[in-house]
Structure 1
Amino acid sequence: MSLDLHFILFLLLRMTIAAAFVVSASFIAERTGPVIGGLVATLPISAGPSYVFLALDHDAAFIAQGALSSLPINAATIFMGLTYVVLAQRHSLVVSCGSAFAVWIAIASIIRMFDWTLTAGLAVNLIAFGICIPLLAGYRHVKMPLVTRRWYDIPMRASLVATLVAIVVSTSGWVGPRISGIIALYPVVFTSIMVILHPRIGGPPTAAVLANSAWGLLGFGTAIAVMHVGVVQFGSAIGLCLALGTCISWNLTLWGIGRRAMHKARQAT
């Protein structure tokens, strides 16, 4: 088998695996309502496979540096979500999603101009989430209507994440860890939720899913920081596992807190 054919087949396999993760997670988000959907949307189901594949091709130093670029991009994602949530209350998908995408691109373009440290990345996240979480709180509680699935849902979601993985894997060797870390954090799941759910159920219910993702996204940023430290100290495999464990533990904790709050509310009534 030629080297080029081997690369293409391996790339297709990576794209397929990543697409399967995103499609499965988005189905769960649709069927469980905005609260659970928001938590599922912030699991590393698109960035995770991208970083695993980067770790197969590059050393720990590359992954650690990529994580430093990914950390402030997480702040760009929460501002992207805020933009969509606010605009989706009254505007069309094109206006809401297009504006959110433009905000992400603008912030990402600024972020790529700097060499980031762990402290600076954490500070940017704290500031961003300190601003956005209170602003998103009023949009969280909306009843999720029944979602009717259409034939192009699976191909659209699969193609989005597969394209992202293909770009990350194919270009990482010449764009370097900084750009790879930025591309790997493009919010594929958020985009998929916007594009697919908004035309079906309307802006406010779709926005509620993203609004409920704010605290989970904060945990995702923490996981990126853990990944950087873990990769530096223990290597790529352990660092990635620690990041995954952080995400899952954080979201399970949020789920538990939400369950207890609901139980207390029912007892009070």
Structure 2
Amino acid sequence: MTAVLLAKLILAPTLVVGSTLAGRRWGAAIAGVLVSLPIVAGPILLFSWLDHGDRFAAEAASASLRGIAVLGGFALLFSVLCAYLPWPVVLGVTWVACLTGGVLMAQVHVGPVGGLLLALSVDAVCWYILSRRRADAPVAVQPRWWDLPSRAVATGLLVVTLTTAASALGPEMTGVLAPFPIATSVVAAFALAQAGPATAVAILAGVLRGLPGFAIFCFVVALLVERLGGPAAFAAGTAAALATAFVLRPRVRGTITSAAPSGSASPSRS
């Protein structure tokens, strides 16, 4: 139990902090790709395997593919709403939509192949729609000293709360809720609050670009965990996810120049 709690408190916050630093160095799209990696869902599925065995993990990983389709819709909806609404409202509306979509997707029973096709199709449509929307260039702001610690704390609290609730709901809901946009929400909401919609949209475009790697991870685990066991399946899924993310990564164009004064780094955009 201690190892599970430590993993929840360390892995996802580390991803958020690392992706934030990478975004400041190489651009918001890179941050989005990194935050879409299965650092949150991967441990959820891994501990599901440790606690409940191969079959539970296979079913949960297959269900996660439907959750990834919901995550793609979350990214698109957040991108549309953030141009018109303050970040707390955007986050509330998109979370409600995401939870509703997750409950509905838990009732859709398809295998790993069908789930993969669904995830990739929804992600492709959402990315196409987002790429067709006119977007301003993202900007950077001078972060305050508390920026990274507050992101890490927020992520850790969300991970513990949501994964603890999901673990009691069986493989279908565990899997569908595993891709719930915890890290994505933190990174996108902070970007919207501090730098405005353009930076948030750029991050979410990167998330959509990175989701195929996430989907490949879940697909590989769903197919192999009962055949090869947990260690081999999760290792193969991780390798496949990283390879897919590398192939689909956006072109790095260097750092983003700051276009906002340091005083604008408040998280209370309204």
Contact kept? 1:168, 1:180, Cα under 8 Å: no
Deviations 1:55-87 (A, max 9, x none): 332311111110111011100001100001112
Report what 1:240 is aligned to.
Answer: 234
- 1:13 corresponds, among 6, 29, 49, to 6
Q: Deviations over 1:121-169 (max 9, x none)?
A: 1232243124212101135864332233235434443334434543566
Write the letter of the residue equivalent to 1:115.
H
The TM-score with structure 2 as length reference comes to: 0.82
Q: 1:186 aligns with which of 180, 189, 194?
A: 180
Task: Give me the whole-angstrom Cα distance separating, in 2, the residues matched to 1:164 and 1:243.
Answer: 25
Q: AA paired with 1:127?
A: S
Unaligned runs of 5+ in 1: 1-6, 263-269
Aligned to 1:137: 131
Matched, 1:58 2:55: no
Q: 1:21 & 1:48 partners in 2: Cα distance?
A: 12
In structure 2, relative to structure 1, the CA distance for the partners of 1:175 and 1:25 (3 Å cut) is: same
CA distance in 2, matches of 1:173, 1:129: 26
1:4 alignment counterpart = none
SS in 2 for 1:218: helix
Which residue number corresponds to residue 97 of structure 2? 103
User: Could you say what secondary structure the match of 1:213 adopts?
Assistant: helix
* Unaligned segments of structure 2, at least 5 residues: 254-270
- Would the aligned equivalents of 1:85 and 1:139 in 2 still touch at CA under 8 Å? no
Q: Mapping of 1:65-214 within 5 angstroms?
A: 65-139=59-133, 142-167=136-161, 170=164, 174-214=168-208
Q: Which residue of 2 aligns with 1:28?
A: 22
Partners of 1:133 and 1:96 in 2: CA distance: 19
Correspondence for 1:215 among 206, 209, 213: 209
Q: Displacement of 1:193 after TM fit?
A: 1.4
Higher mean displacement: 182-191 or 161-170: 161-170
Q: Secondary structure at the match of 2:251?
A: helix
Alignment match, 2:41:
47
CA distance in 2 between counterparts of 1:83 and 1:20 reads: 26
What percentage of residue pairs aligned between the two structures are identical? 25
Say if 1:92 and 1:203, in contact at 8 Å, map to a contact too.
Answer: no
Q: CA deviation at 1:116?
A: 3.1
Moved more, 233-242 or 65-74: 233-242
Aligned residues: 252
Q: 1:92 to 1:248 in 2, by over 3 A?
A: same
Q: 1:142 to 1:213 in 2, by over 3 A?
A: farther
Shift of 1:22: 3.2
User: When the two structures are superposed, what TM-score results if normalisation uses the length of structure 1?
Assistant: 0.82
After superposing on structure 2, the runs of 4+ consecutive aligned residues of structure 1 that deviate more than 6 Å are none
Once residues 175 and 158 of structure 2 are traced to their aligned partners in structure 1, the CA distance between those partners, rounded to angstroms, is 12
Task: Report the equivalent of 2:258.
Answer: none
Aligned partners of 2:56 and 2:152: how far apart in 1?
27
**Contact 1:223–1:243, Cα closer than 8 Å, also in 2:** yes
Structure with the higher helix share, 1 or 2: 1
Counterpart Cα distance in 2 of 1:218 and 1:140: 24
Question: Rg bigger for which structure?
Answer: 1
